[in-house]
């Protein structure tokens, strides 16, 4: 009797039953791991697992995905553990659906080079005929058979999991392996991302649901601990699953053969929303717009700086941003910058906006000096010095008889908005305290603070343009004035302030002024976007780049603009597709739908024809010249 008491489980029966059920779930997850890894290797074609790229890929597959599965199943089990059998069944269903998704997505990705996300499913549900998009009854039946097979496999694996001895020890080992591999993979990514090691970065954009860590400060601090990670040319014999092909074809550009070579000045105001370009808030730029082409329905490509700046130079949708960063050493610079360099342009890039940390230096201005040091202690003082340096650059280039590309990024208009104390035109003006912001706050005084900063920068830009006109520089210069994104001030009384929070027009619609010497002024109401600027500059400044589809998702702003088009916009964490007055904010597992001017009002259903155009555009430079999607 004494011996029997010694062998009894010390835990209460209710706890022991739940513990054993949880151990069964983790054991089944361990049995699923080879299947998951096999499915994920479909995204890694060409990667040798006996290389640094293979070490990184393997640590991601085992660490990131195993840990993700562990967290999700643990949460689901914890929520439903009041009924252990139900909890086991639901965890089995979750694993089965995850495995099925990876198999399905792997097939789709290998053929079309895009991942199955919630918007893809929305598009699929909106079409009237599967045959019209290339989905035959045979494909549907195959998908159903695979789903049944996966369900049967999961049932078998969970039965086998019950027979595994020492499941508690196995659970502890699974967690240890997952956490160790995860930290190894993220350490490699942090350093690889900073060092532009394409053996690491090429893999990142190919994997589904993969959101790795980046940290500029940690990379600088700890890079010496991983000396094997260093900048490498893309596709340098390491194997690469990345299929980004930019440009699709060579874009010849010799301005001497076209007898056309205009200077270019691109001015960007941080956070300048569409309705703040008027004769009251920005009177001098507004006056300049009367001599220019003014685009009244213009969209930025982002609600944050990286997405907004990226498409201004690359002319492709900002959803390519991750892949471009991964292939930075191979691409070198965008087609627009390459063409300007090839034609002898001098570059004056003036910006104090962490372009190094945002990877804009590496992807847009590689081997081009970016001036980031300006006199003054505040943004408004630095912007004044930036203006002086920009004008000096223009005059120096003209004196040397060299064409120029100038870029100015004004920071005063970013939160918290800066301007000289005696320069407040709009009163009362108060600084916004985000800690006290709420949907009931009247935004008027905060808007005035913002408008004062725009009015200040408007004066700087106006002075610059006046000086360029007086010196004769304006006679040969295309001038573009726009913003990286908009700014919201509780416009819908939904407690959204600033930017990066949503994709409403307040955060995505921005001014766009394009002055081309000798071109009649006009106002354009058709929808335009940042992706339109590179083809416009190539064609209008250099007389080349007519094969727009080879390097851009955009259009020449001085060519045909008629017809509806979807807009693709990104944030730091996801992207959205804007179709007319409807916004579809896309996350991997769901789509948030709302109206462009009212986030609290639900959008209509996506239109299949516009959805298809958006998807083709977002994957054209992955698919290369393989033609449109079905």
Burial of 436 per CB tally in 10 Å (0-12, 13-18, 19+): exposed
Model pLDDT, residue 169: 94
Mean pLDDT value across residues 40-65: 87
* More reliable by pLDDT, 205 or 92: 92
Least confident of 43-47, 438-442, 611-615: 43-47
User: What token pair was written down for 328?
Assistant: 């930075």
Asked whether 192 and 60 are in contact (CB, 8 A), the reply is no
pLDDT by residue (tens digit) across 491-508? 999 999 999 999 999 999
pLDDT over 70 percentage in the chain? 93
> Can you give the pLDDT at residue 10?
58
Q: What percent of the chain has pLDDT over 90?
A: 68
Structure tokens at 554: 């955009």
Pairing, β 512-515 against β 293-295: antiparallel
Q: What is the pLDDT of residue 214?
A: 86
Most confident listed range (194-208, 213-227, 430-444, 460-474): 460-474
Q: Tell me: pLDDT of 241 over 60.
A: no
Q: What is the pLDDT of residue 259?
A: 78
Task: Please check the confidence at residue 5 and state whether its pLDDT lies above 60.
Answer: no
**pLDDT (0 to 100) of residue 6:** 46
Pairwise CA distance, residues 531 & 534, whole Å: 7
User: What is the pTM for the complete model shown?
Assistant: 0.86
Residue 145 pLDDT greater than 50, yes or no: yes
Please, what is the Cα angle at 116 between 301 and 555, to 5 degrees? 30
Range with top average pLDDT, 112-121, 133-142, 208-217, 551-560: 551-560
426/453 Cα distance (integer angstroms):
10
- Band (239; pLDDT cuts 50, 70, 90): very low
Task: Using pLDDT thresholds of 50, 70 and 90, give the confidence band for residue 235.
Answer: very low
**Helices 137-161 & 13-40, crossing angle to 10 degrees?**
140
pLDDT at site 143: 87
- Is pLDDT of 375 > 90? yes
* Domains detected in the chain: 11-225 (no CATH), 256-564 (3.40.720.10)
191 Cβ partners below 8 Å, 6+ apart? 197, 200, 219, 222, 223, 226, 229
Which of 75, 95, 85 is closest to 33 using CA atoms? 95
Whether pLDDT at 510 is above 50: yes
The pLDDT value given to residue 131: 56
Report pLDDT for 543. Answer: 94
φ, ψ at 208 (rounded to 5°): -75, 145
């Amino acid at each position: 009797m004494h011996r029997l008491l010694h062998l009894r489980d010390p835990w209460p029966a209710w706890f022991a039953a739940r513990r054993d059920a949880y151990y069964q779930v983790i054991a089944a997850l361990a049995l699923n791991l080879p299947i998951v890894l096999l499915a994920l290797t479909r995204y890694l074609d060409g990667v040798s697992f006996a290389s640094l790229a293979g070490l990184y890929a393997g640590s991601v597959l085992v660490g990131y995905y195993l840990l993700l599965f562990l967290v999700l199943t643990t949460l689901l089990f914890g929520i439903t553990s009041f009924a252990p059998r139900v909890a086991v069944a639901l965890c089995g269903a979750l694993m089965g659906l995850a495995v099925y998704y990876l198999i399905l997505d792997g097939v789709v990705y290998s053929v079309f080079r895009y991942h199955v996300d919630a918007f893809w499913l929305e598009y699929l549900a909106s079409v009237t005929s599967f045959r019209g998009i290339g989905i035959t009854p045979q494909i549907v039946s195959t998908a159903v058979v695979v789903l049944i097979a996966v369900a049967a496999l999961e049932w078998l694996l969970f039965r086998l999991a019950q027979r595994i001895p020492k499941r508690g020890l196995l659970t502890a080992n699974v967690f240890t392996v997952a956490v160790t591999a995860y930290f190894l993979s993220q350490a490699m990514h942090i350093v690889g991302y900073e060092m532009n090691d394409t053996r690491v970065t090429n893999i990142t954009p190919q994997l589904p649901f993969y959101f790795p860590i980046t940290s500029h400060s940690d990379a600088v601090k700890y890079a010496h601990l991983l000396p094997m990670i260093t900048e490498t040319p893309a596709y340098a014999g390491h194997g690469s699953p990345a299929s980004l092909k930019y440009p699709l074809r060579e874009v010849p550009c010799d301005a001497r053969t076209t007898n056309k070579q205009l200077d270019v000045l691109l001015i960007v105001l941080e956070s300048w929303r569409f309705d703040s370009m008027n004769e009251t808030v920005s009177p001098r730029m507004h006056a300049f717009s009367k001599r220019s082409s003014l685009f009244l329905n213009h969209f930025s490509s982002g609600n944050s700086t990286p997405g907004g700046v990226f498409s201004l130079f690359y002319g492709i949708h900002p959803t390519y941003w991750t892949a471009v960063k991964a292939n930075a050493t191979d691409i070198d610079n965008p087609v627009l910058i390459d063409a300007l360099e090839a034609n002898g342009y001098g570059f004056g890039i003036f910006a104090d906006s962490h372009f190094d940390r945002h990877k804009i230096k590496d992807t847009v201005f590689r081997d081009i000096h970016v001036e980031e040091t300006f006199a003054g202690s505040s943004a408004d003082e630095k912007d004044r010095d930036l203006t002086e340096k920009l004008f000096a650059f223009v005059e120096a280039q003209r004196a040397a008889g060299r064409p120029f590309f100038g870029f100015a990024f004004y920071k005063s208009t970013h939160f918290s908005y800066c301007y000289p104390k005696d320069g407040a035109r709009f009163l009362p003006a108060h600084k916004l305290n985000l800690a006290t912001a709420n949907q009931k706050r009247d935004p008027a005084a905060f808007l005035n603070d913002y408008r004062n900063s725009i009015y200040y920068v408007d004066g700087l830009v106006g002075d610059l343009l006046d000086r360029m006109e007086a010196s004769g520089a304006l006679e040969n210069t295309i001038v573009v004035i726009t913003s990286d994104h908009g700014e919201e001030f509780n416009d819908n009384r939904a407690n959204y302030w600033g930017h990066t929070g949503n994709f409403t027009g307040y955060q995505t619609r921005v001014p766009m002024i394009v002055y081309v010497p000798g071109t009649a002024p006009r106002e354009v109401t058709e929808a335009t976007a940042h992706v339109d600027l590179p083809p416009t500059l190539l064609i209008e400044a250099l007389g080349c780049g007519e094969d727009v589809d080879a390097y851009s998702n955009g259009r020449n702003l001085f060519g045909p603009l008629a017809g509806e088009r979807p807009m693709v916009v990104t944030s730091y964490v996801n992207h959205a597709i804007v179709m007319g007055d409807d916004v579809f904010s896309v996350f991997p597992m769901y789509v948030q739908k709302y109206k462009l001017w009212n986030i609290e009002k639900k959008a209509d259903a996506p239109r299949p024809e516009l959805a298809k155009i958006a998807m083709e555009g977002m994957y054209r430079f992955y698919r290369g010249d393989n033609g449109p999607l079905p």
